[in-house]
Structure 1
Amino acid sequence: MPSPTEPTELLATWEAGLAAGPVRRAVLLHALTGAEDGGRLEVPVGRRDRELFSLRRTLFGERLNGRVTCLDCETEQEFGFDVGNVLGGAMDEPAEVLAHSGDWAIRLRLPTSGDLLAAAAAGPEGARRELVTRCTIEAKHRGQPSSVDDLPAAAQTAMADSLAEADSAADVRLTMPCVECGRTTSATVDIVSYLWAELDAWARAVMLEVHLLASAYGWAEPEVLALSPTRRRFYLELVGHG
């Protein structure tokens, strides 16, 4: 497949993702990492997101910048996050995860992109049940097999907590004190949202460059995209748009 740094491949992914939701966009972005079509939906979310962090480093660099709002005083502040914080640690991907809540014991597997797509298709009312059903291997109440439909809210919360602990790359968070009131605020580093926003900004800038150079020189889009970014900037300066 083309290199993920090739403009044509990136633009095709951007175009396909414009009308897609977050889960489908994650799948499209994951394809840029070289993940095989057949197995892409079966990859655990944490592994997928690690690969997206690596893709982000390749495309846009090590440092990721974001903003977070304090829940107390509503002060907004910026934060910086190094992609290496996720990629540097060992990947722990257990085949099964155990969750306990009161008299309940549940065996789980890590959720995948396919699970998230199915949950999204189930709609707001059915998403949680779909995800619980798909990821539960066995649920027991007081040692006896039980239906996932009987799982109480506390058990489902315990399941979510156990999965997050077992697959930390699927839920990357950082905490920081508010510069105004000092309250500790948590920020989620959602690599799919950040990477898509950066790809969207890049694609719109490249499309503008194509428009300007095609208008000035009569070149077709493939001819403009075949130029390196440095040469495109040089031509843009020559036509007064640099």
Structure 2
Amino acid sequence: MDELSVDPGRPSAATQLIALLLVSRSGEDAAPEARKLSMHDRDLVLAALYRHLYGDQIESVVRCRGCGTLVEASFSLAALIAHRVPDYSAGRPDGAGGFVTTTGLSFRVPTVADREEAAALPPADALDQLVKRCLGRSGTTQEICELQERLDEVAPLLDLDVAVSCPHCGRRDDVRFSIGRFTIEALARESRLLPLEIHRLAVAYGWPFDQIVALDRSLRRSLLRCVEAERNARRRA
């Protein structure tokens, strides 16, 4: 039951989740493999997981910075992914997993391990380490700027500002969306409901805790809907 296994407070919670999914397939520790993913691929995996669990629509509520009204923000995850397709027009793959730009700058895309290790450092040191990992050396200011631009083209992340317009005052704000944070927060909300779900299934079927938590999520949810439907029918009778 991955909702109980992932610690939403950990910076590496999204990687932990992917590793758990890989373990369920292979039976082995998949954390090293999960950390080898590029950040771009990690985001696509999390997006596919979110769509499988909760559907394509991303919905959230944010407070307008102009009038303070709560505004509903909603968009299609599939549409966002289609908008963030890699663009290789500013260079070419080098045949060794890297990329060479039209200006001759050679780099590789950062992995999950690169980002997580850099995140433990102060911001200035983190950027320096990521540049060294991507370029294999330190970079000039111009090279770092080009690297950042090219990375957003060849390996775009689902971690970006999304425009939200307030229907009351008309103010337009940019709200940060991160598929990693959004997916983990959705699972965290779901985990808070698990004790009640487990209790209702235990009462309805007389099953022990271990048997219930071992159920596949979709089967558990289907059984819970049956229990709720029967309870509602009895209330109406």
Q: After TM superposition, is the score higher than 0.5?
A: yes
1:228 matched to which residue of 2?
220
Residue of structure 1 aligned with 2:42, choices 48, 71, 74: 48
User: Is the Cα–Cα contact under 8 Å of residues 204 and 227 in structure 2 kept in the other structure?
Assistant: no
Shift of the 189–98 alpha-carbon distance from structure 1 to 2, 3 Å rule, reads same
Counterpart residue type for residue 177 of structure 1: S
Structure 1 counterpart of 2:7, one-letter code: G
The count of corresponding residues between Structure 1 and Structure 2 is 214
Within the alignment, does 1:168 sit opposite 2:156 as a pair?
yes
TM-score (norm 2): 0.71
Moved more, 115-124 or 191-200: 115-124
What is the CA distance between 1:31 and its match in structure 2? 2.9
Quickly say closer, same or farther: Cα 1:219–1:53, change in 2 above 3 A. same
Residue by residue over 1:72-117, the C-alpha shift from the partner in whole angstroms, topping out at 9 and shown as x without a partner, is 55544211121211444685375316497xxxx7432221101111
Q: Which residue of 2 aligns with 1:156?
A: 144
2:10 corresponds in structure 1 to 20
Q: Kindly provide the amino acid, as one letter, of the partner of residue 228 in structure 1.
A: R
1:179-203 CA distances to partner (integer Å, 9 max, x unpaired)?
A: 3443432233211111111111112
- Provide TM-score, normalisation by structure 1: 0.70
Q: Give % identity.
A: 25
What 5-or-longer segments of structure 1 have no aligned partner? 1-7, 139-146
- Report deviation, 1:52: 1.0
Rounded to whole Å, the distance in 2 between the matches of 1:69 and 1:156 is: 35
The 2-side partners of 1:192 and 1:167 are apart by 16
User: In 2, Cα distance between the equivalents of 1:108 and 1:176?
Assistant: 34
- Provide, for residues 169-223 of structure 1, a one-character-per-residue CA deviation record: whole Å limited to 9, x for no partner: 3434432433344343223321111111111111221222224554787632133
In structure 2, C-alpha distance between the alignment counterparts of 1:63 and 1:29, rounded to whole Å = 21
The Cα RMSD (Å) is 3.5
Distance 1:91 1:34 in 2: 25
